[in-house]
Amino acid sequence: MLAPITADLDKIAPRFEIQPEQIEILRTPSEFYETLKDKISRAQSRIYLSTLYIGKTEHDLISTIRASLQRNPNLRVSFLTDALRGTRETPNASCASLLAPLIAEFGSRVEVRMFHTPNLTGLRKRFVPKRINEGWGLQHMKLYGVDDEIIMSGANLSTDYFTNRQDRYHLFKDPRLAEYFSKIHAGVCDLSFDIQPADIPAGYTMSWPSSNPSPSPLASPSEFRKSASKHLSHLLTPSNSPTAVSDGSNTTIYPVMSLVPLLHTSTELPALTTILTSLAKPPFHPSTWTFTAGYFNMTPAFRRLLLATRPSSGTVLTAHPFANGFFGSKGVSGMLPDAYTHLSKMFLRKVKYAGLSDSIQLKEWQKGKINEEGGWTYHAKGLWVTLPSNGAGEKTDDPSLTVVGSSNYTKRSYELDLEANVIIATTDAGLKKRLGEEVKWLGEHANKVDESEFEKPDRKVSMSVKLSMWLVRVLGGAL
């Protein structure tokens, strides 16, 4: 059943055949953190960490990295974060000031790079408030590579993601995949600002190295994009597929990227379009799917593709406002939970209009209330697909295809941010069962909601929120 879909994906992205036991699905934030620290503590040659930001007080993580560097003189560490998010608190403690001392201690064995979007320059950069400037584009990839293994996730590296913010975490134990993503990481580092320690209040300097293959995105956004495309585009093509394993495999991995601020084309949206288009036609129709995004704002085109599959059963899983990371935030960002509530309501209207209310449901995830004792937030994202029976008596309850990574499937994901994901396609019963279990445990704290939920007084969305959403769009940003 999977063959026609994988044949199409072979034309879009690199193909990695692996054994199902080379994939470990982690369950909780604490398991993710302990696994990451364990891998770092035993690192032999390289650590590369691509993330939006590292929390400014993550001294435990930094101590683990420092100890590993001290133990092993051959170890090299590379950090890639976002420049806007990584320096937002300057001159107070920031991600940049947290990492800079590692360079002072270990010299060229440690690299800290920060990517700056070419979409926020000039007057726009000057006047857009720091709390919302990330709406114009970020380094959003989450690549946690150590030696020959890599964790793909949507989680950043800060305390909440290690304790009480639910995400997804897939550990791939494959040297070819780890090497591939190290090239992606290094390629974006080459197009980023360099951080160096400095004896000034900020604790660091940020400069554009002359060795970078492009001009600064702040100095010349158009030339930056041209040079970036030449530097990176070749890494996304199917020609990067390694030699197929000789003993065969029933599990295939496709890295799919969205690097639109840098490239004219990316592979994530074409790959997902291929999958969803296939699900709308025999023999893949009607399928069963679960889609999740903590920040629920899928593009109109993605929504149309999803609804066009007309599934036998479809579930959209998103965060309740009490499980939204922006709940209770000061200023404009505090409006975001209400904005996502409005978008959820609009989605249910579209489902109803398409005549799919009996087959597609919306669920909200809630575990306590953020900022209160025992409260969690929800940040998971992805898609799981269970294909219909092929007539051979095959059990079809468990997914044979999933997408995991950093993307939120929004306008930002496809037009503004850097995103990294993988598609897993498998016929292995054991791995399918584990994917099915992942869907189940993510749904343990989710409850179905309908349009009546959004008519309750405490769920009403104010006109000021709707106006703010419109204003961000007019100014070229996105939620």
Q: What is the pLDDT of residues 105-151, one digit of tens each?
A: 999 999 999 999 998 888 777 777 776 777 788 999 999 999 999 99
| Chain centre distance of CA 303 | 19
CA dihedral 419, 422, 423, 426 (to 10 degrees): -170
Dump pLDDT digits (tens) for 65-105: 999 999 999 999 999 999 999 999 999 999 999 999 999 99
Q: Write the CA distances from 179 to 7, 26, 74, 174, integer angstroms.
A: 24, 21, 17, 9
Q: What is the pLDDT of residue 334?
A: 67
DSSP codes joined into one string, 262-294? T-S--SHHHHHHHHHHHHTSTTS-S-EEEEEES
Q: Which residues contact 11 (CB under 8 A, 6 or more apart)?
A: 238
| Share above pLDDT 90 across residues of the chain, in percent, rounded to a whole number | 76
| CA angle centred on 334, ends 333 and 339, rounded to 5° | 85
**What six digits make up the tokens of 426?**
């498998």
Instruction: Report the helix count and the strand count for the chain, using DSSP H and E.
Output: 15, 20
What would you report as the CA-atom Rg of the chain, rounded to the nearest whole angstrom? Answer: 22
95 CA to centre of own chain: 19
What local confidence, expressed as pLDDT, does residue 457 receive? 79
pLDDT digits (tens, 9 = 90+) for 250-283: 999 999 999 988 887 799 999 999 999 999 999 9
Total residues belonging to the chain:
479
Report helix, strand or coil for 253.
strand
Instruction: Name the least confident of 40-44, 368-372, 466-470.
Output: 466-470
Task: Give the pairing of strands 76-82 and 46-50.
Answer: parallel
Res 392 pLDDT > 60: no
List, in order, residues 6 or more apart from 78 with CB less than 8 Å away. 46, 47, 48, 49, 110, 111, 113, 185, 186, 189
Query: Measuring CA to CA, which residue among 196, 233, 205, 261 is closest to residue 13?
Result: 233
pLDDT-based confidence at residue 393 (cuts at 50, 70, 90): very low
* pLDDT score, position 336: 75
pLDDT, position 258: 95
Q: What is the mean pLDDT of the chain?
A: 91
Cα 58 to chain center, whole Å? 20
The predicted-structure confidence for 5-45, as pLDDT tens digits, reads as follows 999 999 999 999 999 999 999 999 999 999 999 999 999 99
Residue 356's identity, in one-letter code, is L
Active-site residue list: 140, 142, 147
pLDDT digits (tens, 9 = 90+) for 306-363: 999 999 999 999 999 899 877 766 666 667 778 888 888 889 999 999 999 999 999 9
For residue 474, pLDDT beyond 50: no
Residue 197 has pLDDT above 50, yes or no: yes
Rounded CA gap, 336 and 327, in Å?
8
Q: pTM value?
A: 0.94
Can you tell me the distance from the alpha carbon of 173 to that of 176, in angstroms, rounded to the nearest whole number? 9
Q: In which element (H, E) is residue 82 found?
A: strand 76-82
